[in-house]
A and B are shown apart, each in its own frame.
Chain A
């Protein structure tokens, strides 16, 4: 289902923020960092370009699947209106997830092109990075939508989500530096963080290298999260809309 209003997307907010990060971290801060084993032997710019795309994707996913979704049930009630038509709650969820996917793809492509102009890519692996970004974003969006479809008091739930999930995930997922720098207990956080799995995949795609088995593992984690979160969210949409 196409939700026309969703096309009024905002290029500015979707592509710009990670690009600002890229300029500041990659070119500014990065000029102080010597290429070495920690950066896989490449410039810092090349090191953070792929992971910034992925973490940007996660932020978009968080943004698109929290307030907007909760509002569809509670304030604006667009979902309540839609299910009086032949559309089912499952299709509403599918449409929303697809919308997030389009949004992710769009901003990842914009980011990819501009970052390319800044010389942040070493090869055509950038195309794969875009796909990894979309996959990671969707894997985050699905379970968050399940949350948004469940909570009756979104303010509390979302501020807890940002504080106790999104923030730590942002910090401890190897976006700006490899997770080998952080102590083991915090590193375990990374292992369950979709962003870390996405980062690892993206970096491998952009810079080459990496062993097959762990990469398959990272991919499998993201796909499992997307499927599991998706099934949960779908049933939550039904639970909430069919009363």
Chain B
């Protein structure tokens, strides 16, 4: 019993643990005190609008950016002290590709592997395996300059796996990928997760977050505004269903008062009115009963996107 308890305690000790973590760039406070714990085998997401501080947080976890305040432990070590040992076990996909454009695809993988102190033979075999993974084998000896944006992205992701990382940091991994490549990548990430690799992902794509993340936080303006699993978040910040009523531009405002009280929450947009409710069909009949005549209407399930927009606002706040 004692042994089992010990084991689960160790497995439960978080790979990433941040307490009141702060990142300042001069006057700008990019991360304003976040608490995050990521456990082994989890896929954990950072969602948030542009400038929310997602990348800044990721870079601190990646031990390339010192924290300004608060506590941070990664793989049970202190990034300030053990940066190189931690980085040896991380895989990093930065938001912007920084491949060596003068080298071939194969060389990019091999050279990067050598930075981890891996043997030549090992990186040679690994590069072949990873090119297969990223479906770039046919282009193996082409220079990176000649690749399309999506291929570069795939190569960057392949590169992050060269050291068989325990923790993979993915900053907007699928930005710029076509739907096939995105689904392929989700599939690969899912498999990595099953192999016990812990994933830390930032994304703007809600479907990606819903597909991949066991748990996620929504960040806005350097702070965490919500935390939980996708269904939990939908349950606590939105309703089960949404009724969307479309109108000609400018007419939606007049409807707002008419539908008042028919839903838990009503949101009026220039061309649409959204009714957040447990039962969309019922709300629809009720609006018809009140004589509302939209151009079209749609009942759908609530998504993470509704949660996201509710928590971070619809307008750009840059």
Q: Which residues of A contact B (CB under 8 A)?
A: 1-5, 76-78, 80-88, 241-243
Pick the residue among B25, B64, B102, B117 that contacts A84 (CB under 8 A).
B64
Query: Residues 93-114 of chain B: 1 if any A CB is under 8 Å from the residue's CB, otherwise 0?
Result: 0101011111100010011101
Give the B interface residue count (CB, 8 A).
29
Query: B98 to A88, Cβ gap below 8 A?
Result: no
B309 proximal to A (CB < 8 A): no
Query: A5 to B66, Cβ gap below 8 A?
Result: no
Query: A84 to B92, Cβ gap below 8 A?
Result: yes
Chain B interface, DSSP helix/strand/loop, else mixed: loop
Q: List 26 A-B contacts (CB under 8 A).
A: A1-B115, A3-B111, A4-B107, A4-B111, A5-B102, A76-B98, A76-B102, A77-B98, A81-B99, A82-B115, A83-B64, A84-B62, A84-B64, A84-B87, A84-B90, A84-B94, A85-B115, A85-B163, A86-B84, A86-B87, A86-B115, A86-B116, A86-B117, A87-B84, A88-B84, A241-B64
Chain A interface, DSSP helix/strand/loop, else mixed: loop
Query: Residues 132-167 of chain B: 1 if any A CB is under 8 Å from the residue's CB, otherwise 0?
Result: 000000000000000000000000000000010000
Provide the residues of chain B in CB contact with A85, threshold 8 Å: 87-88, 112, 115-116, 163
- Least distance between B155 CB and chain A CB atoms (Å): 12
Query: B94 to A86, Cβ gap below 8 A?
Result: no
- Least distance between B164 CB and chain A CB atoms (Å): 13
Pick the residue among B66, B83, B163 that contacts A88 (CB under 8 A).
B83
Provide the residues of chain A in CB contact with B84, threshold 8 Å: 86-88
- Least distance between A156 CB and chain B CB atoms (Å): 23
Provide the residues of chain B in CB contact with A87, threshold 8 Å: 84, 115
Q: Which residues of B contact A (CB under 8 A)?
A: 25, 62, 64-66, 83-85, 87-88, 90, 92, 94, 96, 98-103, 107, 110-112, 114-117, 163
Pick the residue among A77, A80, A242 that contacts B66 (CB under 8 A).
A242
Given contacts A78-B98, A241-B64, 5 further A-B contacts (CB under 8 A): A4-B107, A5-B100, A77-B96, A84-B64, A86-B116
Q: A80-B98, A81-B98 are in contact. Are A243 and B116 (CB under 8 A)?
A: no
Query: A80 to B115, Cβ gap below 8 A?
Result: no
Provide the residues of chain B in CB contact with A241, threshold 8 Å: 64
Q: A76-B100, A242-B65 are in contact. Are A2 and B87 (CB under 8 A)?
A: no
CA distance A179 to B201 in the complex (A): 63
Q: A77-B98, A83-B64, A86-B117 are in contact. Are A243 and B25 (CB under 8 A)?
A: yes
Provide the residues of chain B in CB contact with A5, threshold 8 Å: 100, 102-103, 107, 111
